[in-house]
Amino acid sequence: MNSTLIISPSGVRGVVGEGLTPGIVTNLASAFGELMGGEILVGYDTRTSNNMFKYAVFSGLLSVGCKIVDLGVCPTPSLQFMVKETGANGGIAITGSHNPPEWNALKFVRSDGLFLFPEEGERLIEIYREGNIRRSAWNSLGSVLKDNSAISRHIKRILEVVNVDRIRGKNFKVAIDACCGAGAIASPLLLEKLGCDVITLNCNTTGMFPHPPEPTPANLRDLCRVVKEAGADVGFAHDADADRLALVSEKGEAISEEYTLVVVTKSILQKSKGFVVTNICSSQAVDDIAGEFGCPVKRTPVGDVYVSRCMRDCGAVIGGEGNGGVIFPPVNYARDGMTALALVLDYLASENIPISSVIDSLPSYYMFKRKIKNPGINLERLKQKLSRKFGSSKLDFLDGIKIWFPEGWVHIRASGTEPVLRIIGESKDPSGIKKLTDWALGTISSLKR
């Protein structure tokens, strides 16, 4: 397989013009139209390749007789919300999400607003690879309608699940960095409706990302500066399709994206106790907070579809992933940076303390995250090696390999969105995290020799 094309049950991603081409996109859209039929909603972020891929998606869907509703530029969670609300048969989000600008992707949405389940994604890939797609005749091709209401309808729903008057009463000054992505229009509008004094940074829709779109502390230096210089109460940052949210404190300090879910979890559990769901490599701080309220935590493989599906099945009150992806069922079973933003402001308004004090009140952990490009490592062989060394009580193979140490834990897995090996570790103290980092990198290095 082309190293710049990743086809998996969760969707397809690739480098534009190398792995990912209009022909591939058209055929995948046709396969999705064959699988779902009927009305398909299409939305996209701001990437420069999206005009090309939008028409490729339209062509594929029209060829199998689907009715297309073009939502225009909108956050992926807005698309998911609209699919559920309108009763459409499915949706396609054209977005590279947190990937660099040369990448793009298709995300496929079920009629209930969740992404395709793995078994459905496998069936989609099967249809695509078999190529036996029933094309419509000239007089039964599909149609295209335009609907620009996705963002406004999504915002309307978000405003129904927070205390708008309480937030407006605080007159928060908020800086927002949308990385010139899909949140560039949506989040400033939401903030204005919440009565905030809004400072926008990178909120045009050119698709020329001013920094890598993954909302990690290393990519938020400009936002930190703006927050501090403007005396803002908080800074928010999205990735390119606004399904993730990172925070900057009023001191101009970037907060690990892991803590977005932790903050929101504490806020929700204070009002409504129940199951919390997150993936296998999100911070242990989620468990600590849930434990304070006597609430159980379920862990899933990495990927929002696994978290969403588990949340729906167990009736969870809150969930998400440690990459800044919060899933709040009253809005939708989707990672949603806009809903997360409103929930954080609601919590700040109710507690009447600065965001730095909120973070200081949470369990403190140190975490490292590494990406190793084209590692060429056999994870099955690594599993066998570690099983002999550690024994089953210290290993978890739910997704990749998670190893428990006295100092904390390390998780190793192949990425589903990039041709990389992801290594994450967490400890309660700096010396522990150094030890875990050295062990993990040393282990991987020894396997490459």
Annotated catalytic residues are 97
Q: Which amino acid is at 301?
A: P
Torsion sign (Cα): 347, 353, 355, 361: negative
Q: Which residue from 107, 98, 49 is spatially nearest to 78, judged by alpha carbons?
A: 107
94, 41 contact by CB (below 8 A) = no
Q: Which residue from 384, 32, 350 is spatially nearest to 164, judged by alpha carbons?
A: 350
Q: Which residue from 369, 84, 66 is spatially nearest to 214, judged by alpha carbons?
A: 369
- In the numeric block, the tokens 């100092």 are attached to 407
Q: For 66, which DSSP code?
A: P
* DSSP element (H, E) containing 67: strand 67-73
Structure tokens at 436: 């875990």
Distance CA 3, CA 376 (A): 12
The pairing of beta strand 318-321 with beta strand 276-279: parallel
245, 238 contact by CB (below 8 A) = yes
- In the numeric block, the tokens 């859209």 are attached to 29
